[in-house]
Structure 1
Amino acid sequence: MALIKSISGIRGTIGGKVDENLTPLDVVKFTSAFGAWLQNNRNKKDLTLVVGRDARISGSMVNSLVTATLQGLGIHVVDLGLSTTPTVEIMVPELHADGGIILTASHNPKQWNALKLLNEKGEFITGENGAEVLALAESEDFEYAEVDDLGQYETRDDAFDIHIQQILDLPMVDAEAIRSKKFKVVVDAVNSTGGIAIPQLLEKLGCEVVKLYCDPTGHFPHNPEPLKEHLGDICELVKKEKADLGVVVDPDVDRLALVDENGELFGEEYTLVAVADYLLRNKKGVTISNLSSSRAVRDVARNLDSEYFASAVGEVNVVTLMKEKNAVIGGEGNGGIIYPDLHYGRDSLVGVALFLTHLAKEDKTVSELRATYPSYFMGKKKIELTPDIDVDSLLTKMQNEYQNEEISTVDGVKIDFKDNWVHLRKSNTEPIIRIYTEAFSQKEADDLGDQMIAKIKSLI
C-alpha cells in the first residue's frame, strides 16, 4: 500500500493508515490544500471547480469527500460524475471555471485512486504550483467557510456531448469521410468511462461499434495499462468480428492503443506517428514528443519537411515545449495525443477521430497504413546501484564517453546513434538508472541496453 505525494497530484491505494495510503482524511487534506491554494492564487474565495471521475470502485466515495470539502471551503462545485481526463480538461474553460480535479489513478490497478489537479485553462498545474500545494497540505494552513458561505453544488450530464461536438467541429476531423467507410470498430475500455465516451463518439462518426469491457463498473477485467500482454481478448475479437479496427483506452481515456484488422497491435508508439503524419501532410509545422518516444515520430516529421523537437518525459513538459514551439501536434509514446487546436491535454477521443480521418482518406487497411511507417523496436532495462554511488556524476561520465554522438541532457542523457538510440534517466526515489533503447530489431534494442549496462559498470 502506498501514498505518493507528487507535484502533479496525489496518488495512493485506498484504505489503511492515514498518511501512508489514500484514506478519507488524506483526500480531505489534499483537496483542502488545493482549494485553498487556488483561492490564494486567484485572490478570491468564491471559486468554481469542475470535478469528474473515472469508474473505479472507490470513485464515488472519493468524489463525495472531494466535493463536500470544496463546498466547505466556500467553493462552487460542478460535478460531471463519470467522465474522462480530457473531458474534465475541456469543461474547465468551457464553464469558465477556476480549476478542476480529476479523480483517477489512470492505468494503475483498481486499488489505486488519485487527485489530478487542473488550473483555470484545464491544464495540469506546474511543478512549482504543485510544490506549493504540497507545502500548504503539510502546514494545514487553510480556513473553511462559515455556514452562510458554503459552496454550491451542481451536476452536469452534457460534458461528453460538448467534448464530442468540439471534436466534430474541428476542421481536420472529416466526419463525412469516416461515415462513408462504415468502419466496424471493437472497443476495449477496461470497464471504465471510455466505455461510455468512445462508443458515443464512434456512433456519431457512423461506425458500427462492438463493445468489449465497456460497462463502467470499475472492475477491470485485465491489467488496465494498454500493453500487448494485456490485450489478447480484443485482438481475438477483432478477428472474430472481422472488424476494421480495435480501439483500446485506459481507465481515464488519455492513452490510446490500436489493433489492426488482423488482430495485431498497431503499436502504442505509432498512435502519435500516424496522427502526426496526417496533420503534417496538411499543415507543415512542429511536432513534439518526449525523449523516450519512438524515433519514427521524428522520421515522419522530417519526411514531411517539418521540424521535430523532444521534451523531457512527462505531459507537462511536452505541453510546455509545444507552446514554446507553437507545435501542430504533440504527445507521448504511450498513446497520448495532444492536439492544441482542441486543448493541451492527452485525449484519446480526438486521437480516434484524427486517426479514422487519416485511415479513411488514405483508403488503406490499418495494417497497410502501419506498413508505411518505419519499424522500430524498443527495449527497457534498468541498472540498480548502491546508495553511495553518485548517479548524476555517472551520467556525466556516460555523456563524456559518447561526446562525439548527438547528445541531449534535457532529461538525463540521451545518445542518438545513426541507427538507434539510448536514453538514460535516474530514478527520483531510488539509486537506479533506467535505460530505454530503440533500434531496427528487438534483439538490437536489447543488446544496446546490455552494452550500456556494461559501460556504466565499467565507469563505477
Structure 2
Amino acid sequence: MSLIKSISGIRGTIGGKVGDNLTPLDVVKFASAFGSWLQNNKNKKDLTLIIGRDARISGAMVNSLVTATLQGLGINVIDLGLSTTPTVEVMVPELNADGGIILTASHNPKQWNALKLLNEKGEFISGENGAEVLALAENEDFNYAEVDDLGAYETREDGFDIHIEKILALPLVDLEAIKAKKYKIVLDAVNSTGGIAIPMLLDRLGCETVKLYCEPTGHFPHNPEPLKEHLGDICELVKKENADFGVVVDPDVDRLALIDENGEMFGEEYTLVAVADYLLKHKKGAAISNLSSSRALRDIANSHDSQYFASAVGEVNVVNLMKEKNAVIGGEGNGGIIYPDLHYGRDSLVGVALFLTHLAKENKTVSELRAGYPAYFMGKKKIELTPEIDVDALLTKMEKEYQNEEISTVDGVKIEFENNWVHLRKSNTEPIIRIYTEAKSQEEADKLGDDMIAKIKSLI
C-alpha cells in the first residue's frame, strides 16, 4: 500500500516498509516537516500545537511519536488525548495555539492512520502549504532543539466540554425546543471517540441515548464508513427500541448519518440538506457543497431564494468557496456539516444539535421530514487502481467520450446529463477512482455507475 500524501493529510497503513506505509520513521519525518514548516513561517520563538486522536488501535503509538518529535523541535504540545476532529479544530483557536495535528484516518479501516494538519485557525492547511510541508519532508531539512530548549508537554481533558458549550451557545440551536421533545436516540459510534462526545452532547440536550458500539477501543465492529451496507445493526436496534431515530458517526466524528424511526437510512446526502433547510429559513445566504454532492441542496437553497455553489472535492476546497461566497452553510454529501458560525470544519456534533432543533420545530418524525425533500438517489462505486493505469489519461478519454454533454473538469470529470449526473475522480484518501452518480431512482443511479465502470474498463 502506498503512503498517500494529499490535501487530506498524510495517511497510510501501519507497519511495513519505510516510505511505503505509515511506519514510525514516516510519522517522525512528517511530524518534523510540519513542525519545521510552522517554525519557518511563524515570527515567534515559542510555538504550541494541539494534538488529538481517535480511538484507533495505533493511536497511542502514533501520538507518542508525534508528541516526542514536536518536543524535539522545541515545540510545546497540548494533548487532548481521545478527541474528535472538530473538537481539535475548535480547541486550536480557543487555546491560541499555532496549529494542530489530528491523528485519524477518518472512515478508513483500522489498519490505517493519518496526520491531519491544522493552521492557527483550526482549519486544514492549504494545498500550497501542504506542498511546502511535503518538500521539507522530502529534503529532511530539520533542525532539532538542544536539551534546554525542548518543548513542554501538557494534557487537557476539557475539550469536549468547551466544544459542547460553544454549540449550545449558538443562537440557532434551540435547547428548550429539543428538551421538550425528550427524544430517544440510538447511537453507533463504531467504537471510537464519538461514543464519548455524542452522548455528552445528547445528555445536555435532554435526550436519552441508547449506545451501540460506543466503547472507544478502536476495534471497529463493522466497516467504519457510515454507508447503508454497514449499518444493519443500528437499523434493527432503532426499531427494537422504538427510538425516534438513530445517529451514526465515523471514527473521528466529522461525518454524520441518520436513521429514521422505521430503521431506514435518512441518506448521507440529506444530513446537509436538512440542516441547510433549517438554517436558510432563518438566515439568507449561499449554500456550498462539492461536485460529488446531491442536487437536492441546490433545490433547497433555491426554495429559500438562496444561491448554491459547488467546489472541488476536499474540505479545504469547500471551506475556501464558503469564505469566498460568505456562505451560511456548507459541507460535503458524505454527511459532513460545516457551520461557519461555529468553525470552518465538518462537525457531527453541531450537525446533531442543528438537526434536532429543526426536527423539534417542524414537529415531524424523521421519515416525514425526509419525505418533504426532493427525491434523488445516489450511487457510490469505485475502481481499484493499479500502477499501470494512467488515471489522468483515462479521465481525459472519458471527457472526450462525452464531449457533447455538460462537463466540469474542476475536479476529475463530472458529466451532467438532463436527468442525472456522474462524477469520476481520483480519490484524495485511497488508491481508487471514485464513481459517484445521481438519478431519480436507485436503480437508475446504480445502472449509470455500472455503465461508467464498463466504459472505463473498455478504455483501459
Scaled to the shorter chain, the TM-score interval is: over 0.9
1:340 is the counterpart of 2:340: yes
Answer with 430-439 or 354-363: which moved more. Answer: 430-439
- 1: CA distance between counterparts of 2:151 and 2:219? 33
2:314 counterpart letter in structure 1: G
- 1: CA distance between counterparts of 2:429 and 2:357? 42
Question: How far 1:394 moved relative to its partner?
Answer: 1.8
Answer with 203-212 or 447-456: which moved more. Answer: 447-456
Structure 2 residues without counterparts, runs of 5 or longer? none
1:401 counterpart letter in structure 2: N
Matching residue of 1:20 = 20
Maintained 8 Å contact 2:53/2:102: yes
TM-score, structure 2 as length reference: 0.94
1:159 is the counterpart of 2:159: yes
Question: How far 1:395 moved relative to its partner?
Answer: 4.1
- 1: CA distance between counterparts of 2:459 and 2:84? 46
- 2: CA distance between counterparts of 1:454 and 1:223? 26
Question: How far 1:427 moved relative to its partner?
Answer: 6.2
1:397 is the counterpart of 2:397: no
Q: Deviations over 1:229-281 (max 9, x none)?
A: 11111111111111101100000000000011111111111100100000011
Answer with 380-389 or 368-377: which moved more. Answer: 380-389
Question: How far 1:381 moved relative to its partner?
Answer: 4.4
5 Å matches for 1:32-111? 32-111=32-111
Maintained 8 Å contact 1:397/1:459: no
Q: 1:387 to 1:84 in 2, by over 3 A?
A: closer
1:87 counterpart letter in structure 2: T
Q: 1:94 to 1:424 in 2, by over 3 A?
A: same
Q: Deviations over 1:372-422 (max 9, x none)?
A: 0111111234678974793354244245322xx4x4332233233332222
- 2: CA distance between counterparts of 1:231 and 1:390? 37
Q: 1:159 to 1:227 in 2, by over 3 A?
A: same
Matching residue of 1:360 = 360
User: Sequence identity of aligned pairs in percent?
Assistant: 83
Q: Describe the SS at the equivalent of 1:401.
A: coil
Matching residue of 1:291 = 291
Q: Deviations over 1:64-93 (max 9, x none)?
A: 111111111110110001100000000000
Question: How far 1:166 moved relative to its partner?
Answer: 0.2
Q: 1:214 to 1:144 in 2, by over 3 A?
A: same
Maintained 8 Å contact 1:8/1:127: no
Maintained 8 Å contact 2:56/2:110: yes
- 1: CA distance between counterparts of 2:445 and 2:260? 24
- 2: CA distance between counterparts of 1:58 and 1:296? 38
- 2: CA distance between counterparts of 1:428 and 1:164? 30
Answer with 336-345 or 425-434: which moved more. Answer: 425-434
Q: 1:31 to 1:426 in 2, by over 3 A?
A: closer
Question: How far 1:429 moved relative to its partner?
Answer: 11
Please, what is the CA RMSD of the aligned residues? Answer: 2.2
TM-score, structure 1 as length reference: 0.94
Maintained 8 Å contact 1:376/1:440: yes
Q: Describe the SS at the equivalent of 2:403.
A: helix
Q: Describe the SS at the equivalent of 1:400.
A: coil
Question: How far 1:20 moved relative to its partner?
Answer: 1.9
Maintained 8 Å contact 1:7/1:126: yes
Q: 1:32 to 1:458 in 2, by over 3 A?
A: closer
Maintained 8 Å contact 2:201/2:349: yes
- 1: CA distance between counterparts of 2:173 and 2:258? 18
Q: 1:225 to 1:433 in 2, by over 3 A?
A: closer
Q: 1:148 to 1:4 in 2, by over 3 A?
A: same
1:233 is the counterpart of 2:233: yes
Maintained 8 Å contact 1:286/1:327: yes
Maintained 8 Å contact 2:13/2:113: yes
Question: How far 1:7 moved relative to its partner?
Answer: 4.0
1:250 is the counterpart of 2:250: yes
Runs of 4+ in 1 over 4 A off after TM superposition: 381-389, 426-434, 450-460
5 Å matches for 1:295-444? 295-381=295-381, 387=389, 390-391=393-394, 393-398=396-401, 400-402=403-405, 405=406, 407-426=407-426, 434-444=434-444
- 1: CA distance between counterparts of 2:27 and 2:52? 15
2:173 counterpart letter in structure 1: V
Q: 1:72 to 1:355 in 2, by over 3 A?
A: same
2:149 counterpart letter in structure 1: D
Question: How far 1:328 moved relative to its partner?
Answer: 0.4
Structure 1 residues without counterparts, runs of 5 or longer? none
Question: How far 1:36 moved relative to its partner?
Answer: 0.4
Matching residue of 2:268 = 268
Q: Describe the SS at the equivalent of 2:37.
A: helix
Question: How far 1:13 moved relative to its partner?
Answer: 1.4
Question: How far 1:451 moved relative to its partner?
Answer: 4.9
Matching residue of 1:11 = 11
Matching residue of 2:186 = 186
Count of matched residue positions in the alignment of Structure 1 and Structure 2: 457
Question: How far 1:453 moved relative to its partner?
Answer: 5.7
Q: 1:149 to 1:321 in 2, by over 3 A?
A: same
Q: 1:229 to 1:449 in 2, by over 3 A?
A: closer
5 Å matches for 1:140-219? 140-219=140-219
Maintained 8 Å contact 1:51/1:88: yes
- 2: CA distance between counterparts of 1:450 and 1:59? 37
1:241 counterpart letter in structure 2: E
Q: 1:441 to 1:98 in 2, by over 3 A?
A: same
Maintained 8 Å contact 2:50/2:78: yes
- 1: CA distance between counterparts of 2:450 and 2:65? 48
- 1: CA distance between counterparts of 2:121 and 2:218? 29
1:199 counterpart letter in structure 2: P
Q: Deviations over 1:167-206 (max 9, x none)?
A: 0000110011000000001111011100000000000000
- 2: CA distance between counterparts of 1:101 and 1:319? 18
Q: Describe the SS at the equivalent of 2:288.
A: strand
Q: 1:101 to 1:360 in 2, by over 3 A?
A: same
- 1: CA distance between counterparts of 2:155 and 2:137? 27
Q: Deviations over 1:324-374 (max 9, x none)?
A: 000000000100000000000000000000000000000000011011011
Q: 1:142 to 1:432 in 2, by over 3 A?
A: closer
Maintained 8 Å contact 1:45/1:74: no
Question: How far 1:454 moved relative to its partner?
Answer: 6.7
Maintained 8 Å contact 2:78/2:154: yes
